[in-house]
Structure 1
Amino acid sequence: METSKKNHRTEMDNTAFLAKFGRVMKLTLYIKNHYWLIGLSVLTGIFNKTLPVLSAALVAYVVGTAASGATAETIIGYLVVLGIVVLLRALFEYLEMYIAHAAAFRMLHDFRMMIYRKLEQLCPAYMIDKKSGAVTSTVMDDVEQLEWFYAHTLGTFFIAVLVPAAILIYMLSLHWLLPLVLIPWMVLTAVTHLWFRKKADTQGREVKESLAEVNAETIDGVQGLREIISFGQQSPYLSRLVGKTKRLNEAQVKDGKRLGLEQALIKTFTALGMLSVLIVSSQMASSGVIHESLYPVAVILTVYAFNPLLELMEMITNFGLISASADRVFSILEASPAAVDRVTESPARFSLPHIDYQKVSFRYQEKLPLVLDKISFEVKPGETVALVGHSGAGKSTCISLLLRFWEVTGGSISIDGVDLRDMPQKALRETISLVSQDVYLFNTTIRENISLGLPAAGDKDIEKAARAALAHDFIMEMPDGYDTIVGERGAQLSGGQRQRIAIARAFLKNSPILLMDEAVSNLDTTNEQLLQIAIKNLQKNRTTLIIAHRLSTIMSADRIVVLDNGYVAESGSHQELIAKDGIYARLVAIQASA
C-alpha cells in the first residue's frame, strides 16, 4: 500500500513537472515575430561555445607537441590558427550577447504590450479581487524574469546537446574508453536537478508569491502614506510589511539552501568526471595507447564537455522561478474578459440617444447575491435622470453596466433600441463621457490630462473646454499654466480642481451620453453653484444619467429613480416623490436634518 502511494505521488510529481515544462515551453509560441533573430542567436551561441573548445584544444595540443619535440615551424603554424580562432571567439562572444539580448528585450516589449492590451479588456472586473501591486509585479518583475528564458535558455538547450556530443565523438576517436569513463558523470550531473525539481518548483512559486505580496504592500503604503500617518498607523503598517518581508526572506533562504546542496553535488560530479579522465588518459599516454601530445587535449576537452551541462543546470535551477513567472503572466493573458464583443460593425452615431434598462439583473460573481434584480427604467432623449439610494443600492453598478465593464446577468440595456452586446465596446465608449467622483489625473501636464477626452484636440479647443468647466482661471494661476505638471494622481490640485479638469474632459469629448458620479461632491457652496451652471451647459443636447447624493444635484434632474437593495423603489420628479412620502422623502429628510 505504501509503495502504491509513493508511486502515485511520483506519477503526480512527474505530471506536474511536465505541465510546468509545457507551460514554460509555451513561451516559444510568442517568438513567431522573432524567429530569425532567435535562430541567429542560437547559431552564434553554438559558434561562441564551440570556438573556446577548439582554442583550448589547440593550446593543449601545441603544449603536447612542443613537449614531444615538434619543430618551431609546426608550432608557429598552429599558433597562427590559434590566433584566428581567438579573434573569431571574441567576435561571436559579442554577437551572441548582442543578438540574444536584442531578441529577448524585443519580446519583453511585446509581452508588456500584450498584457496591457489584455488588461484593457479585463478591467475593471479583473481588478475587483486583485491588488494593483501584484498586477504591477507581474507586468514588471515577472515579465523581466522571462528575459532569462529568451536570452539564456533556448540557445542553451541546443548547445548543451551539440557541444558535449561533438566532444564525446572526438574522444571516441582517440579511444573508446575515454567517453565510457566520462558519460556516467555527465549523466549524474544532468539528472541532479531532477532530484530537487519538486522543491525547486514549490520554492520558486513561494518566492514569486512572497515578492508580489511585498511589492503590493509597499505600493499600498506609498500610495496611502497620508492616511497611514494621519491615523497614526505607522507601526501597524510597518509590522505588516515586516511580516510579509520576513516571509519573503524565509522563502529565499529555503530556496538558497536547496540551491547550495544542488550546486555542491553538481560540482562534485564534475570534479570526479575530470579526475576519472585524468587518471585513465595519463595511463594511456604513459603506456603508449594514445600519443603523449593528446593527453592534455583529452583533459581540456573534459572540462569543456561539462561547461554546457553546467550552464543548462543553471538554467534548470531557475526553472522554478521562470515557471512561476510564466504562470502569473499567462494568468492575465488567458483570463476571460467580463465583456466580449460579439459584433465588429458599429451602429450609426447616436445624436440624442434613448437609454433603456429592461429587467436588468446582475451579480458580480456566481456565488454572490444579486446586486440588481430585474430593474427597469429609461432615460429619454435629452433627459437628465438622477439615480438615488442608500450606499450599496446598485447606483454605480448601473453606470458600470452601461459602460459594459461587466455584462448583465439577465435582461438587457439598449441605446436607441440597440442592445449594448450588439455594439463594439470601443464604439459604445466613444458615445459616452464619464465624470466620476474619484477623478484620476496622470502625472503629466494639465493640457494632456484634459486632452484625454480628445487626444487630437488643439490648444484652442482645450482652452474652450476648460473655460466651459470654469477651470481656465485657476489653470492660469498655476506656475506654468496649461503646462503645469499636476503630480501623481493630481496631487498638485485640490479635489474641486480635479473635478473641473474631469468636466473639461467631458466638454472636449462632446459625447451624446453623459454619465456623472456626484461630480460636485468636492466643491464648496460657491464653486458648486458656479459649476452647476457649467454642468447644465454640458447637459444640453445630451442624454444624462447622474449618481446623485447632494439635494441640489438631485433637484436639478428632470426625473429621479430611487434604488433600494437592487430594486427600483420609486420614480418621478422631486415634488412627486416628496408627496409619496416614501424612501426618497426619508432620504431627503435625513439630508436636510444633517
Structure 2
Amino acid sequence: MAQPPRPPLVLQPPAGDGREPAPEHRIKPVERLRRVFSYTRPYTGRLVAALVCLVIASGLGLVYPYYFGALAEAAFTNAAAADTEAAYRELGDNTVLLLVVFLAQAVFVFFRHYLMTWLGERVVADLRVGLYRHLAVMPQNFFHRTRTGELLSRLSDDVTRLQSTVGQDLSIFLRNVLTLAGGIAVLFYMNWKLTAAMLAVVPALMIAANYWSRIIREISRKAQDELATASGALQEGLAAIETVQAFTREDFEVRRYGGAIETTFGLFIQRAIARSWFAAVISFFAFAAIAGLFWLGGSMVIEGEITAAELTSFIFYTLMVAGSVGALAELLGGLQSTFGATARIFEILDTPPEIADPPAPVQSPAVAGEIRFVGVSFTYGDRDVAVVRDIDLHIRPGEVCALVGSSGSGKTTLGRLVLRFWDPTAGAILLDGHDLRALRLEDLRGAMAMVSQDPVLFSGTIRDNIRYGRLDATDAEIEAAARAANADGFIREFPLGYDTVVGERGVKLSGGQRQRVSIARALLRDPKVLILDEATSALDAESEHLVQGALEVLQRGRTTLVIAHRLSTIRDADRIVVLDHGRIAETGRHAELLARGGVYARLVARQAAAAADSPGEVPGGP
C-alpha cells in the first residue's frame, strides 16, 4: 500500500512558555458581548417576538407620566374652578385609562420576560454543550497544563454569568434605553429649557461611569480567576480523597481551599465596594439633578411659564429618565463580570486542538493492524530531553509485541503515540502503510482499544460500562464479552448482577474486577489493534491469573502492543522490544534475550531477586 505524503506538523508550546496570549484577550469587551449574543441567531424568531413585546411595553410605560399629569389637572384645576362633578368625571376616566394601560403593559411584560428568560437558558445550554464538545476533542497536552477544576468553573460559574446577560441584562438594557430615549424626546417636546438643564449632568455621569467600569472589570477578572483556582483545589482534593485521608491531610486541604476562597471573597468584596461607590455617585448626580429641576420648575410655575400639571408630568418623566440612567449604570457595573467570564470562555473555545483530523483524510479499507515506527522521536513540550529517540519498529498484523524497560524508558509514550494522543516530534507512525496523521481520528481510534493499569469505569452500572465499548451492543453480546473476560462469575454474584452500580471510577469493585470489566469492554469493541498498558502490574497473584486468562482471549487475532512491568506476563510474546533511555536496546523472544545476557536479562534478574525478597510476589523470571 503506497504511503501518502505526511501532512505538515505544527507543535504548539504549552502555556507559560512565553507564547502570545490568546486572541480573545485583545478583543474589545463590546466585541465579546456581541459574540455572546451571536448564540441567539438560531432563535431569531423568539428574539424578535421578545423585542416587539419589549418595545410595546416600554412605549406603554411612557404613557404613565402623561396620565399622572392629567389626573393632577383634574384634581386641582377643576376643583379650583368649583366644578366638582367634572373633576370626578375626568378623574375617573383617566384612572380607568391608566388601568387599561397597566393591564396591556403587564401582558407584554409577561411575554417579554418569558421569551428572554427562555433565550438565556437556551444559550447557556448550547454554550455548555459546545464547550464540552470542544474540550472532548482537545489533546492530552491541553489537560496536562489545565486543571480539571478550573475547566469545571468555566462550565458552571462563568457560563451562568452569561445566562444573566442574555436572559436579563439584554432586556433591562433595551428597556431602559428605549425609556431613556423616549423620555428625553417627550421632555424636549414639553419644555426644552428644563430638559437642557436636566441633561447638564450627563457628562459628569459618563466620566464617572467610564472610571468605575474599568476598575470593576479588572477586579471581576481577578475574582473569576481566583474562583477557578479554588475550584481546581477542591476538585483535586476530592479526586484524591483516599490519599488525603491516608496522610491525615484533611485540615491541610481545607485550609488550602479555604485560603483560595478567602482570597476570592476579598476580591468579590472589592468589586462590591467599587460597584457600591459607582451606584452612589450615579444616584447622587441623578437626584441632585432632580432637586435642581424642582427648584427651576417651581420658579417657572411661580412666574406663570408652565402649569402645575405640566410640572407634575415633567417631574414624572424626569424620574423615569433618572431611573433608566441608574439602571443602565448598575447594568454597566454588572457587565464587567460578564466581560471577564466571556474572556475565559472564548479563550477555551478559540484554542485549536493540536491533534485533529487532516483536511483531506485518507479513506482506508478495513484495518489489518500493521504498525510501523519510522525514525520516531518525541519530546514533551515542557521538557528539553527526548522521551523516545530514533525508534524503528515493524509490528506485523496479529503479532503480540511487548515493550519492556526500566521506568521512564518510553514504553507508555509509544503506546500513547500509537493512539495519537500526541504526534511525534520527528519521524512517523504508520498503520497499514498510512501515516496516522493522514487518518481521521475516529477511524484510527475506532480500530483500537486500550486496557490500562488503572482502568477508568464510569459511575453507572456494570452493563453500561461494558457497553461503552460498543454502544449498540445487545445484552447478550455484553454478557458474552463478560464471560470471555472471566467477569461473568463475579458479576452474577452481586444481587443486581449486571445492573450493579459501580460508583465513581468503579470504587465499589476490586482492582481485579475493574480490570476484567475493562477487558470485557475492550472485547466488545472488537479492535484490530490492542494496547495493554501494564494491565496486571497492580494485581495480586490470584487476580492476575484470572486477568491474564482474559487477556489471552482478548489478544487472539489482534495486533497487540503490551507495555509490561511484570516480565512474567510477556514470556510468550511473539517479540519483546527492550527500551533503554528512549532507544531500542534489544529485540527478540524471551529465551533469546535471556541467553544474550543483556539489558533484558538484567531486568529479569532484578525482578526475580525482588520477588525472592518479597514473599507473595510473582517471580519475574523463569
Q: TM-score range by the shorter chain?
A: over 0.9
* Cross-structure match for 1:215: 231
How big is each residue's C-alpha offset from its partner over 1:492-517, in whole Å with a ceiling of 9 and x where there is no partner?
Answer: 11111111111000111101111111
The Cα of 1:43 is off from its aligned counterpart by 2.9
Q: Displacement of 1:282 after TM fit?
A: 2.2
The aligned residue for residue 385 of structure 1 is: 401
**Which residue does the alignment assign to 1:36?**
45
- Structure 1 residues 367 and 38, CA, compared in 2 at 3 Å: closer, same or farther? farther
Distance 1:106 1:243 in 2: 35
Kept in 1, the 8 Å contact 2:221–2:337? The answer is yes
Q: Give the root-mean-square deviation of aligned CA atoms.
A: 2.0
Aligned residue among 515, 537, 540 for 2:553: 537
Q: Could you state the TM-score of these two structures normalised by the residue count of structure 2?
A: 0.89
- Distance in 1 separating the partners of 2:501 and 2:362: 37
The one-letter code sitting in structure 2 at the alignment partner of 1:177 is K
Give the match for residue 196 of structure 1: 212
SS in 1 for 2:183: helix
The CA distance in 2 between the partners of 1:292 and 1:323, in whole Å, is 46
- Residue equivalent to 1:442: 458
Who is 2:76 aligned against?
Answer: 67
Partner of 1:7: none
Residues 58 and 178, structure 2, Cα contact 8 Å, conserved in 1: no
The DSSP-based 3-state class of the residue aligned with 1:479 is coil
| CA distance in structure 1 between the partners assigned to 2:356 and 2:179 by the alignment | 50
Deviation at 1:387, TM superposition (A): 1.2
SS of the residue aligned with 2:468? Answer: helix
Give the partner amino acid of 1:430.
G
Contact 2:62 2:182 in 1 (8 A): no
Q: Within the alignment, does 1:25 sit opposite 2:34 as a pair? A: yes
Residues 404-443 of structure 1: matches in 2 within 5 Å? 404-443=420-459
User: By how many angstroms is 1:576 displaced?
Assistant: 2.0
Deviation at 1:532, TM superposition (A): 1.6
For 1:471 and 1:58, the matched residues in 2 are separated by 80
Q: Superposition pairs for residues 131-530 of structure 1, below 5 Å?
A: 131-343=147-359, 347-365=363-381, 368-530=384-546
Aligned-partner Cα distance in 1 for 2:25–2:434: 48
Q: For the residues of structure 2 that align with 1:169 and 1:504, how far apart are their CA atoms?
A: 74
- Answer whether contact 2:455 2:514 (CA < 8 A) is retained: yes
Q: Give the Å deviation of 1:149.
A: 1.9
Whole-Å separation in 2 of the counterparts to 1:551 and 1:459? 36
* Structure 1 residue 381: Cα displacement: 0.8
SS at match of 2:200: helix
SS of residue matched to 1:318: helix
Shift, 1:201, TM fit = 2.0
- Please report how far the alpha carbon of residue 414 of structure 1 lies from its aligned counterpart in structure 2 after TM superposition: 0.8
Aligned AA for 1:25?
A: R
What is the distance in 1 between the residues matched to 2:538 and 2:26? 55
Secondary structure of the residue that 1:71 maps to in structure 2? helix
Separation in structure 1 between the aligned mates of residue 561 and residue 463 of structure 2, nearest angstrom: 27
More helix by share: 1
For each residue in 1:164-206, what CA deviation from the matched residue of structure 2 results, as whole angstroms up to 9, or x when unmatched?
Answer: 1211111111111121111122443344221123321221111
Conserved in 2, the CA contact under 8 Å of 1:355 and 1:414?
yes
Deviation digits for residues 230-258 of structure 1 (CA, Å, limit 9, x no counterpart): 11222322222222122112212221221
The offset of 1:542, in angstroms, is 0.6
SS in 2 for 1:151: helix
* Inter-partner Cα distance in structure 1 for 2:572 and 2:293: 93
Which position in structure 1 is the counterpart of 2:600?
Answer: 584
Deviation at 1:284, TM superposition (A): 2.2
Equivalent of 1:124 in 135, 140, 145: 140
- Contact 1:387 1:395 (C-alpha < 8 Å) held by counterparts: yes
- Give the superposition deviation at 1:53: 3.6
- CA spacing shift, 1:198–1:459, aligned 2, 3 Å: same
Q: Deviations over 1:302-359 (max 9, x none)?
A: 1111222222222211232211211111121111212121145563443531011111
Partner of 1:4: none
Q: Which amino acid aligns with 1:208?
A: Q
Contact 1:42 1:154 in 2 (8 A): no
Which residue of 1 is the match for residue 110 of structure 2?
94
The 1:327–1:48 alpha-carbon spacing in structure 2 relative to 1, beyond 3 Å, is same
Tell me which stretches of 4 or more aligned residues in structure 1 moved more than 6 Å. 15-18
- Residue 158 of structure 1, CA deviation: 3.4
Give SS of 1:68's match: helix
Aligned to 1:80: 96
Q: Structure 2: how far apart are the matches of 1:339 and 1:497?
A: 33
Equivalent pair of 1:338/1:405 in contact (CA under 8 Å)? no
Post-superposition CA distance 1:444-501 (Å, at most 9, x none): 1111111000111111001001111111111111231111111111111111111111
Q: Equivalent pairs: percent with the same residue?
A: 32
Counterpart CA distance in 2 for 1:127 and 1:366 is: 13
Q: CA deviation at 1:41?
A: 2.6
Q: Give the number of aligned pairs.
A: 580
Which whole-Å CA distance do the structure 2 matches of 1:168 and 1:246 have between them?
A: 45
Distance 1:453 1:308 in 2: 58
Residue 591 of structure 1 deviates from its aligned partner by: 1.1
For residues 193 and 556 of structure 1, do their structure 2 counterparts lie closer, same or farther at Cα, with a shift above 3 Å needed?
Answer: farther
Structure 2 distance, partners of 1:48, 1:190, is 27
User: Which residue number corresponds to residue 54 of structure 2?
Assistant: 45
CA contact (8 A) 1:190 1:313 kept: no
Deviations 1:536-570 (A, max 9, x none): 11111111111110122221321111222222222
The residue identity in structure 1 corresponding to 2:31 is G
Distance, in Å, in 2 between the alignment partners of 1:557 and 1:315 is 68
For residue 28 of structure 2, give the secondary structure of its aligned residue in structure 1: helix
Letter of the structure 2 residue corresponding to residue 350 of structure 1: A
Letter in 2 for 1:566: G
2: distance between equivalents of 1:296 and 1:211?
A: 49
Alpha-carbon separation, structure 1, partners of 2:328 and 2:580 = 63
Question: What is the CA-CA distance between 1:144 and the residue it aligns to?
Answer: 1.0
Q: How does 1:549-560 map to 2 (within 5 A)?
A: 549-560=565-576
Contact 2:466 2:478 in 1 (8 A): yes
Cα displacement (A) at 1:87: 0.8
Which segment drifts farther, 211-220 or 187-196?
A: 187-196
Q: Distance in 2 between matches of 1:89 and 1:467?
A: 68
Amino acid at match of 1:66: A
C-alpha distance in 1, partners of 2:327/2:564?
64
Cα distance change of structure 1 residues 79 and 467 upon mapping to structure 2, 3 Å threshold: same
Say which SS state the counterpart of residue 355 (structure 2) adopts: coil
2:526 & 2:29 partners in 1: Cα distance? Answer: 50
> Contact 1:346–1:427 (CA<8 Å) still a contact in 2?
no
CA distance in 2, matches of 1:318, 1:408: 47
